[in-house]
Structure 1
Amino acid sequence: MSAAQAAKKPNAALMKPLQPSNDLAAVVGSSPLPRTEVVSKLWEYIKANDLQNPENKREILADDKLRAIFGGRDKVSMFEMNKHIARHLS
């Protein structure tokens, strides 16, 4: 197998459906989803509700639903978001 073929193979851990917590389910739905789908749905929610900081697009401004996921914080960077999401998946 060439390096290019190996690079295209999806990571099985990322594709495994995980159960969102009740807080996360309020945004992405309650059925089990792969981590990649959870992140996609979260971004759909963020964009639909205009929750990106207009001065710094890397910051997400939390509404009540996202504040529950982000540990009570009012804003997080897009890089911190995955750490918070991980706590809400099992």
Structure 2
Amino acid sequence: MAVSLGVFSGMRFVAAQPHSGNLLRSVTMAVHVPRKGLGKPGRLLVTSATVSETPSSPKVRGIMKPRKISTEMQAICGVDEISRTQALKQIWAYIKENNLQDPENKKIIICDEKLKKIFAERDQVGMLEIAGLISPHFLK
């Protein structure tokens, strides 16, 4: 099945996707369409083609990779292994659930006992500091 993606200054872009069961996922081709009177009618010239395959299992890396965390962080997250992004989501959920943002300046977090253990015993933390302060709690 081929779908025309449009014509742009004499070039027609076509995307094709074969039936399922084939390893080929998608094909994109740039097809040169001659202007009227400049070429033989009914002929198209393929100038480039690319084939892309979807990887079978993408590797999880960086901040998306689950890692073991300290017991202080486990008290808030509830698991012993979590990714940085999910840990930040859990911490923000805890902050909002317990209404720990300063009412006058929402960028300031007022720490309770659990958060003090994570945020180096500080009473207040800026919201941009949270990502840096949780780094020591991810074990290697």
TM over 0.5: yes
Q: How many residues align?
A: 80
Two-structure CA RMSD over aligned residues (Å): 1.2
With normalisation by structure 2, the TM-score equals: 0.55
Write the distance in 1 (CA, Å) between the matches of 2:102 and 2:68.
Answer: 29
Q: Which range moved further: 65-74 or 27-36?
A: 27-36
Task: Tell me which residue corresponds to 2:72.
Answer: 23
Q: Give the aligned residue type for 2:116.
A: R
Q: Give the aligned residue type for 2:123.
A: D
For structure 1, list consecutive stretches of 5 or more residues without a partner in the other structure: 1-10
Write the distance in 1 (CA, Å) between the matches of 2:133 and 2:89.
Answer: 15
**Structure (1 or 2) with the greater helix fraction:** 1
Partner SS, residue 52 of structure 1: coil
Task: Tell me which residue corresponds to 1:59.
Answer: 108
Of structures 1 and 2, the one with the larger relative CO (CA 8 A, separation 6+) is: 1
Task: Give identity over the alignment, percent.
Answer: 40
**Structure (1 or 2) with the greater strand fraction:** 2
Bigger-Rg structure (1/2): 2
With normalisation by structure 1, the TM-score equals: 0.84
For structure 2, list consecutive stretches of 5 or more residues without a partner in the other structure: 1-59
